[in-house]
C-alpha cells in the first residue's frame, strides 16, 4: 500500500498559520481566550500572536478562565 502526501498543501497551511495577526490587542486576546474556554480551542482562538507578549498571554489566559467558568455555570 502506498500513500501520497500533499507537501505543497501542508506548506500552505503552515504558512498561513504562522502569519502574524494584525492589530492584536489585550481585549482581542481576552476575547479569543474566552472563546477557547467556552467552545474549545481552535487554530483561530489559539493563534501564536495571542502569546507574543506577556501582556497578551496573560489576557488570553484570563479570558480562557472566564470562558471555562461561563461554560461550567451554563
Q: For residue 19, tell me if it sits in a domain.
A: no
Helices first, then strands: H and E counts in the chain: 3, 0
Which distant-in-sequence residues (6+ apart) come within 8 Å of 45 by Cβ? 32, 33, 35, 36, 39
Residue 21 is given by DSSP the state P
The count of domains in the chain is 1
pLDDT of residue 37: 96
Expressed as residue numbers, the domain containing 30 is 24-73
* pLDDT tens readout for residues 6-58: 777 777 767 777 788 989 999 999 999 999 999 999 988 999 999 999 999 99
On the CB side of 61, how many CA atoms lie within 13 Å of its CA?
8
What's the whole-model pTM score?
Answer: 0.77
Residue 11 lies in a domain: no
Structural domain includes residue 69: yes
Q: Report the pLDDT value the prediction gives residue 18, as an integer from 0 to 100.
A: 79
d(CA 32, CA 41): 9
Amino acid at each position: 500500500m502506498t500513500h501520497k502526501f500533499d507537501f505543497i498543501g501542508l506548506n500552505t497551511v503552515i504558512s498561513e498559520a504562522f502569519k502574524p495577526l494584525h492589530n492584536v490587542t489585550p481585549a482581542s486576546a481576552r476575547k479569543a481566550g474566552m472563546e477557547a474556554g467556552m467552545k474549545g480551542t481552535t487554530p483561530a482562538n489559539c493563534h501564536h500572536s495571542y502569546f507574543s507578549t506577556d501582556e497578551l498571554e496573560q489576557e488570553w489566559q484570563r479570558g480562557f478562565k472566564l470562558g471555562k467558568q461561563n461554560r461550567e455555570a451554563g
